[in-house]
């Protein structure tokens, strides 16, 4: 379906719509330089937890770390922000470039309605105030993959301001406690992405791919309320989940759809904030956490050794695990911001300000978008806790692992087992196997239906817990067998002949008189050894509770 586009038509400051060819939503872009590196003033910090080098020694000064993030999310749209070019990941170089993207003289921007709606929806989900009037600006700087010599952005009056993002950080000895925290959102703005520079070291040349030039971005600017890599990673992951739930961005970091710039400084509590550095273009949550923690420690070490921190831009080398200097920022770059002359103010409406008789296709209604907001991750977690009685940290795990929540819900639909048992098997056994082999949920050889059937066999006491694990191990081999077939082939059904089990228990007791003697002398652990010996003799086909009952009866007689 063609994507509707806002177009400026002249007097009266009205928008009309043009249609451009669309298709399905596509993925795009890998990270590259030339995103916004505007220097903003130091903001006040609501909370500044202390960051120390290992355990502080007696008399050693503690340090407070301050971290602020600028997050660029690629909008899920069929076409670019100001042109009708398609958005598609891994397209042949320079195959998705319009005259406007190439900045040919005489071309004019046409604002994409879908991108505006995505920005409004994201702002509402992040508790932002939506500005009914926002402005576009030109940000001038020279870079080879920015053909116009400027980027269209929203520096003066962005589309959304003053929001908040609540996220959870794991704590406790086993990281089993989730502590809620909140980071303030300064603003959300619409802007163009740049093209892509491809460096050919063998030929000592750089090639330019403009497929990504002009793709719509949401820049989400967080206030410096974070204090370490773990908090930053948790906040970005929560934002990623929100964007994916909304459908405003696929937020696939591996494809450059979500990129993060981190501003980092350290100082002694009670003293002015330190000089900050900016680590650019972090395209992995794991690398984001590592880069921030490394940079905090680097600055602390530098200051404690009598050095000084330079106001500079740095990059993170993921193979070496360290940040490296790219360029200094001592001389503030003049971006020569100016109003975009080819775009009028973007005017939005709500139910109270909507003009009478206005064509819904010609305006954007904030309240109408608010009504279409889907269930957000925070609400989903609360529902999982209430509906299935699971722990809050388990709900975080289900949402944080891509595809795991859907897998869990499909198992729940098809099994008679209790939700707590399903939760345990999905988070412990299933997820454990995935992590051991570094697989995604979508790559699992075990389907939700197979796991549901296995849990039904366990719930009906057809097999024991130990036998269920054997069946799961066979299922993981991906040979196409059902749990029922595996149980039948390997004869893993529970022994139902009580007489045979009593004879086996008697034989085990006669073969291990010392264990029996220890039990009679008051050693409670001895019975567990007898149960284990009986289960071994039955190849885990006997019910441990029945074995214990028989053994206790024989010992008492």
pLDDT band of residue 28 (cuts 50, 70, 90) is very low
Secondary structure element (H or E) that encloses residue 294, with its range:
helix 285-304
pLDDT in tens, 259-293: 999 999 999 999 999 999 999 999 999 999 999 99
Residue 372 vs residues 113, 169, 376: alpha-carbon distances, Å:
16, 29, 12
**Cα separation, 427 vs 430, whole angstroms:** 6
Sign for the CA dihedral angle at 124, 127, 132, 138 comes to negative
pLDDT band of residue 20 (cuts 50, 70, 90) is very low
Which residues span the domain enclosing 534? 496-554
The reply to whether 358 falls in a domain is: no
Find residue 191's DSSP bridge partners: 217
Mean pLDDT (whole number) for 225-244: 96
**Are 288 and 333 contained in the same domain?**
yes
DSSP one-letter code for 96: S
Q: Residue 323 in contact with residue 290, Cβ under 8 Å?
A: no
Structure-model confidence comparison of residues 333 and 198, the more confident one = 198
**Are 507 and 484 contained in the same domain?**
no
How far is Cα of residue 96 from the mean position of the Cα atoms in its chain? 28
**Are 260 and 168 contained in the same domain?**
yes
Task: Tell me the percentage of the chain whose pLDDT exceeds 70.
Answer: 87
Residue 50 vs residues 56, 182, 385: alpha-carbon distances, Å:
11, 17, 32
Q: Residue 184 in contact with residue 225, Cβ under 8 Å?
A: yes
The reply to whether 445 falls in a domain is: yes
pLDDT in tens, 373-405: 999 999 999 999 999 999 999 999 999 998 999
pLDDT band of residue 64 (cuts 50, 70, 90) is very high
Q: Residue 303 in contact with residue 338, Cβ under 8 Å?
A: no
Long-range Cβ pairs for the range 476-485 (8 Å, 24+): 476/433, 476/445, 476/446, 477/445, 478/445, 482/450, 482/453, 483/450, 483/453, 483/454, 483/457, 484/453, 484/457
Give the per-residue pLDDT at 174. 66
CATH number at residue 511: 1.10.10.410
pLDDT band of residue 354 (cuts 50, 70, 90) is confident
The reply to whether 98 falls in a domain is: yes
**Are 304 and 411 contained in the same domain?**
no
**Cα separation, 315 vs 32, whole angstroms:** 11
Q: Out of 116-125, 437-446, 483-492, which region has the weakest mean confidence (pLDDT)?
A: 483-492
**Are 458 and 501 contained in the same domain?**
no
**Are 392 and 322 contained in the same domain?**
no
The reply to whether 393 falls in a domain is: yes
**Are 197 and 315 contained in the same domain?**
yes
The reply to whether 346 falls in a domain is: no
Q: Say whether 173 sits in a helix, a strand or coil.
A: coil
Examine the fold and report which residue of 471, 488, 505 is the final residue of a domain before the chain moves on: 488
Arithmetic mean of pLDDT over the chain: 85
pLDDT in tens, 29-59: 333 333 333 333 333 333 334 443 344 433 3
Number of domains in the chain: 3
Return the C-alpha torsion angle 18, 24, 30, 32, nearest 10: 10
Quote the tokens at residue 551.
């053994």
pLDDT band of residue 331 (cuts 50, 70, 90) is low
Examine the fold and report which residue of 488, 509, 527 is the final residue of a domain before the chain moves on: 488
**Cα separation, 329 vs 310, whole angstroms:** 8
pLDDT in tens, 189-216: 999 999 999 888 888 899 999 999 999 9
**Are 537 and 432 contained in the same domain?**
no
Find the DSSP H helices in 39-89: none
- What is the reported pTM? 0.81
Mean pLDDT (whole number) for 168-192: 88
**Are 483 and 500 contained in the same domain?**
no
Mean pLDDT (whole number) for 439-461: 94
**Are 315 and 380 contained in the same domain?**
no
**Are 76 and 95 contained in the same domain?**
yes
The reply to whether 22 falls in a domain is: no
Contacts for 503 with CB less than 8 Å, ≥ 6 apart = none
Contacts for 265 with CB less than 8 Å, ≥ 6 apart = 65, 66, 273, 274, 275, 276, 277, 299, 309
In which region does residue 162 sit, left (phi positive, over 0), alpha (psi from -120 to 50) or beta (all else)? left
Q: Out of 79-83, 273-277, 550-554, which region has the weakest mean confidence (pLDDT)?
A: 550-554
Q: Is the pLDDT of residue 26 over 50?
A: no
Give the per-residue pLDDT at 48. 38
Q: Is the pLDDT of residue 471 over 80?
A: yes
**Are 449 and 472 contained in the same domain?**
yes
pLDDT band of residue 9 (cuts 50, 70, 90) is very low
The reply to whether 17 falls in a domain is: no
How far is Cα of residue 466 from the mean position of the Cα atoms in its chain? 35
Residues for the chain: how many in total?
557
Q: Say whether 502 sits in a helix, a strand or coil.
A: helix
Give the per-residue pLDDT at 330. 57
Give the per-residue pLDDT at 406. 96
DSSP 379-444: HHHHHHHHHH---HHHHHHHHHSTTHHHHHHHHHHH--S-HHHHHHIIIIIIHHHHHHTT--GGG-
The reply to whether 190 falls in a domain is: yes
Examine the fold and report which residue of 488, 517, 539 is the final residue of a domain before the chain moves on: 488
Mean pLDDT (whole number) for 418-433: 96
């Amino acid at each position: 379906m063609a994507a509707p586009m806002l177009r400026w038509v002249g007097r009266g400051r009205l928008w009309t719509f043009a249609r451009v060819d669309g298709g399905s939503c596509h993925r795009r872009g890998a990270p590259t330089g030339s995103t916004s590196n505007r220097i903003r003033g130091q903001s006040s910090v609501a909370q500044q937890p202390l960051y120390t080098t290992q355990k502080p020694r007696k008399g050693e000064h503690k340090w407070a770390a301050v971290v602020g993030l600028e997050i660029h999310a690629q909008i899920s749209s069929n076409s670019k922000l100001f042109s009708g070019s398609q958005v598609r990941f891994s397209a042949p170089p320079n195959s998705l470039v319009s005259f406007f993207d190439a900045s040919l003289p005489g071309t004019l921007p046409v604002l994409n309605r879908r991108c505006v709606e995505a920005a409004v929806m994201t702002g509402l989900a992040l508790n932002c105030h939506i500005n009914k009037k926002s402005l576009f600006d030109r940000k001038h700087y020279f870079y080879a993959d920015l053909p116009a010599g400027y980027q269209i952005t929203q520096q003066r009056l962005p589309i959304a301001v003053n929001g908040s993002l609540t996220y959870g950080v794991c704590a406790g000895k086993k990281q089993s406690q989730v502590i809620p925290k909140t980071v303030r959102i300064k603003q959300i703005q619409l802007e163009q992405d740049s093209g892509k520079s491809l460096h050919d070291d063998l030929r000592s040349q750089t090639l330019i791919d403009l497929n990504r030039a002009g793709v719509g971005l949401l820049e989400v600017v967080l206030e410096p309320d974070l204090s370490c890599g773990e908090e930053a990673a948790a906040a970005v992951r929560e934002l990623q989940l929100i964007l994916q739930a909304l459908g405003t961005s696929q937020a696939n970091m591996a494809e450059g759809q979500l990129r993060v710039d981190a501003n980092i400084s350290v100082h002694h509590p009670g003293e002015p904030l330190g000089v900050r550095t900016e680590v650019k273009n972090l395209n992995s949550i794991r690398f984001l956490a590592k880069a921030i923690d490394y940079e905090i420690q680097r600055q602390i070490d530098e200051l404690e050794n009598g050095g000084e921190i330079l106001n500079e831009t740095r990059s993170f080398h993921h193979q070496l695990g360290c940040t490296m200097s790219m360029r200094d920022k001592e001389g503030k770059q003049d971006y020569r911001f100016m109003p975009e002359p080819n775009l009028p103010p973007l005017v939005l409406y709500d139910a109270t300000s909507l003009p009478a008789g206005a064509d819904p296709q010609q305006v954007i209604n904030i309240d109408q978008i608010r009504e279409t907001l889907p269930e957000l991750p925070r609400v989903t977690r609360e529902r999982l806790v209430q509906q299935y009685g699971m722990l809050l940290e388990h709900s975080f795990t289900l949402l944080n692992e891509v595809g795991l929540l859907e897998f869990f819900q499909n198992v729940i639909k098809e099994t008679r087992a209790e939700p707590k048992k399903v939760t345990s098997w999905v988070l412990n056994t299933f997820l454990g196997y995935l992590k051991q082999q570094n697989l995604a949920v979508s790559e699992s050889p075990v389907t939700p239906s197979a796991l549901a059937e296995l849990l039904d066999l366990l719930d009906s006491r057809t097999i024991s817990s130990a036998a269920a694990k054997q069946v799961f191990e066979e299922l993981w081999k991906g040979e196409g067998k059902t749990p029922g077939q595996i149980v039948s082939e390997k004869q893993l059904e529970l022994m139902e002949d009580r007489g045979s089990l009593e004879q086996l228990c008697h034989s085990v007791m006669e073969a291990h008189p010392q264990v029996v003697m220890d039990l009679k002398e008051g050693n409670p652990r001895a019975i567990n050894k007898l149960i284990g010996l009986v289960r071994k003799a039955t190849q885990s086909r006997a019910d441990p509770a029945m074995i214990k009952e028989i053994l206790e009866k024989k010992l008492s007689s």
